Amino acid sequence: MPKVVVEFYGTARQVTGQKEVTIELKEGGTFRDVVRALAARYPKLVGDVIQPGGEELQMPNMFNVNARRVVHDLDTQPQDGDRILLMFVTAGG
Amino acid sequence: MYGYSGKILHVDLTTRKTWVESKPEEWYKIYIGGVSMASRLCWENIEVGCDPLSPGNPICIANGMFAGTPVPVGGKYGLASKSPLTGFIGDSLSSSWFTIALKRAGWDGIVIHGASDDWVYVFIDDDRVEFRDASQLLGLGTFQTEETIREELGDDQVRSATIGPAGEKLVRVASVTNDSRQAGRTGHGAVWGSKKLKALSVRGTHGVSVADPDALLQLSYDITQAAQGPHTQKYRILGTMANVLNLNRLGILPTRNYQQGVFEYAELISGEYLHEHYHVKTIACAQCPIACEQMSQVKDGPYAGAMTGIDYEPLYAVGSNCGVKDLRAAIKTIDICDRGGMDAMSTGVTISWAMETFERGIFTKEDFKCAKYPEGFEPNFGNAEAVVTLAEMIRDREGIGDLLAEGSKRASAQVDAERGTETWKWAMHIKGLETPGYDARGLKTFALGLAVGTRGACHNRTAAYDPDIKGEVDRFSVDETRGKLAKSTEEYAAVYDTLPLCKFIRRCFTGKADRAGAWPAIAKLINATTGWDFDYDAVDLIGERAFTIKKAFNIREGWTREDDHLPWRWMHEPMKEGPSAGYVVSEEELEYMKDLYYEAKGWTKDGLIPKEKLIALGMDDVAEEIGV
Ligand code: SF4
């Protein structure tokens, strides 16, 4: 069973009170399953970080895999051992 | 005309004369306001080729059509002069009550010419202008200057844009401050100082008339509602400081003068840590329902009492970029910059150049003698007290601070000329303006956006980090899309900077920040304010015209293709570690991307603007002067 680690930054970290969480996926599990697992585990993420319904990330939050690539299609699959950064970046200031 | 008074006020500090210029509505439709109108005023009023610190360089201020109306985040103004750092256009934005006062005083723009023999502040009391002695204000910090003027005039509704001690001493990284917001970059404070202008104070008592008040109120109400929701939560909760950990994780957090992109102490200078330990309240600019500024205070240790608003950009510059892991020292340094009237970004990046120059053995302890440390000190990376002290020395032009006050480009050139060294290789600037808080080796579209920027290395004038960070393109490589992306993102940013509207509102129109999501809504705001009939295309043209007038200004001041460069380090030293390890932006990549960009803009291979292009944009007189 693939395992991924989700790293929390900004609002997600404040809401969960954690820096990261390990999520175990079923064989063939997708990034959408990661969103679902997060919504189930941390209902307070639903609203500012996850859209109501618990299926989609709230813009402009995004998943970045291993700091190398952004996930555009939540129905694709992460690899076992991936570190998924739940982040947003904002310029200015 | 609705939304505008149609009047520009000219003030001559040399002759102490003032006059009013009326502009036709067509002129407003092209230049709109903010950075575009301020740059256009600069184009019209500068003595071409002048020294930026000479009387021939005007101070040009342009309001926005939304200032003083209910439109959220529309209380901003543009400020332009020839930059003493770059020698090209220096266009900045600031916000809040000052711009509203200016609007209520009945002025769309102010042009200040000449130079005074004695220190003055100019008081604009609706349509009356007074030149007032400023000798009692000399040496005062920016916030204190504003307060003192209010007391002197006996009216707490007077709003002032001021310079601090740094501007008085012609520190080239000096800024202009109003209502604790800064027109920070490109050295405006030094231009004001060169004219012996300590402050511009305004009292405005008139109303602002708009074409369709009911429609504007409804549109503004809807946007205000949206601005309280998830679209702005990232700004409201941690502000831009949320970037520290994100950018660190992507391997692009400038660290130790951009020698690294990962800071091992990033957690300690993060927005999350700041919020938990030092945050005291969140404040907003006037006319803003978002409120992003994180007021933070040091409560213990040697810097206890320091308090100012903390944003990401100043913080990376004096924090990770100087190897500093103590947020208390970073807050203190930013506090010194804000009160002293200095751009904390350029200050921090110039200090980090000095720290590296010291670590490489070119500067020695002897070079860092000052009243506080008569024997000198050793500014190794991570020496927080050294950063605090150097910021004070730059502000006061004390000791080596006199050299650093010139900014990293001039300071490195001077050291290299005197000592036969090559410190310019780690002077992190573009066109003389110090680089922002993203290491562009891991963001190649952004690297192009920065290189071609008209005011130098500025993250606010290009949004080209967006496609890189959102993964719309591979951030580590270049391809044929980058020219169009750089054009599109810089013109997108220029629409906001010209109206001006704070960019943090960009998702609150329809939930989507792209042109399709925002331009139709912005057109409605413009039309309800002015009675014009702007549509999507007309809004889109605002950005292209804004960038074009700034570019035209630079061309007339001698710009060539070689000026669109990157710091040597980004082109020759690969990132050493982290997710961006191994990358540079090679000469070949940069030149290829520049070709693509000039082509996308419809310019020549040398980056010059064809006459027909300028005429099509309604800039016939500009075509006459610089069109090819
Ligand atoms: S979001 Fe922040 S910078 Fe923008 S107008 Fe509001 S307080 Fe000012």
Nearest-CA residue for atom 8 of ligand 1: B285
CATH class of B236-430: mainly alpha
Average confidence score pLDDT of chain B: 96
Residue A42 lies in a domain: yes
CATH number at A27 reads: 3.10.20.30
Domain-wise residue ranges, chain B: 7-203, 236-430, 440-626
Least confident of B10-19, B78-87, B178-187, B387-396: B178-187
pLDDT digits (tens, 9 = 90+) for B502-550: 998 998 998 888 999 999 999 999 999 999 999 999 999 999 999 999 9
Which candidate, A49, A62, A57, A65, places its Cα nearest to that of A89?
Answer: A62
pLDDT digits (tens, 9 = 90+) for B317-363: 999 999 999 999 999 999 999 999 999 999 999 999 999 999 999 99
Nearest-CA residue for atom 4 of ligand 1: B502
Q: Is the pTM of this model over 0.90?
A: yes
> Given pLDDT bands bounded at 50, 70 and 90, which one contains residue B460?
confident
Whole-number Å distance, alpha carbon B94 to ligand 1 midpoint, is 10
Cα–Cα distance, B597 to B358 (Å, whole number): 38
**Contact call for B246 and A9, based on CB within 8 A:** yes
pLDDT digits (tens, 9 = 90+) for B249-267: 999 999 999 999 999 999 9
Cα–Cα distance, A40 to A43 (Å, whole number): 6
Please report the pLDDT score of residue A92 as a whole number: 52
Q: Is B501 exposed, middle or buried (0-12, 13-18, 19+ CB in 10 A)?
A: buried
Q: Which residues of B445-455 are buried (b: 16+ CB within 10 A; e: fewer)?
A: bbbbbbbbbbb
Which candidate, B123, B124, B96, places its Cα nearest to that of B206?
Answer: B124
Given the structure tokens 């103004």, which residue do they identify?
B77
The answer, for B292 touching chain A at a CB cutoff of 8 Å, is yes
Residue A93 lies in a domain: no
- The verdict on the CB of residue B502 being under 6 Å from ligand 1 is yes
Q: Is B373 exposed, middle or buried (0-12, 13-18, 19+ CB in 10 A)?
A: middle
Judged against a pLDDT cut of 90, whether residue B372 lies above it is answered with: yes
Best substitution site from B66, B77, B94, B95 to test ligand 1's pocket, by max atoms within 8 Å of Cβ? B95
ipTM above 0.90, yes or no: yes
Above pLDDT 90, what percent of chain B? 92
The answer, for B468 touching chain A at a CB cutoff of 8 Å, is no
Q: How many structural domains is chain A composed of?
A: 1
Which candidate, B601, B547, B618, B620, places its Cα nearest to that of B35?
Answer: B547
- In which domain, by residue range, is A84 found? 3-88
CATH class of B440-626: mainly alpha
Provide the CB-side half-sphere exposure for B126 (13 A, CA): 4
Please report the pLDDT score of residue B230 as a whole number: 76
Query: Which fold does the domain B7-203 belong to in CATH?
Result: Aldehyde Ferredoxin Oxidoreductase;  A, domain 1 (3.60.9)
- Secondary structure letter of residue B88 according to DSSP: S
**Contact call for B249 and A7, based on CB within 8 A:** yes
Mean pLDDT for the stretch of residues B428-454: 97
Alpha helices, H only, B384-464: 384-396, 401-404, 407-419, 444-451
Best substitution site from B238, B285, B294 to test ligand 1's pocket, by max atoms within 8 Å of Cβ? B285
> Given pLDDT bands bounded at 50, 70 and 90, which one contains residue B486?
very high
Cα–Cα distance, B386 to B572 (Å, whole number): 29
Judged against a pLDDT cut of 60, whether residue A91 lies above it is answered with: no
> Given pLDDT bands bounded at 50, 70 and 90, which one contains residue A93?
very low
In chain B, residues 310-339 whose CB comes closer than 8 Å to chain A: 311-314
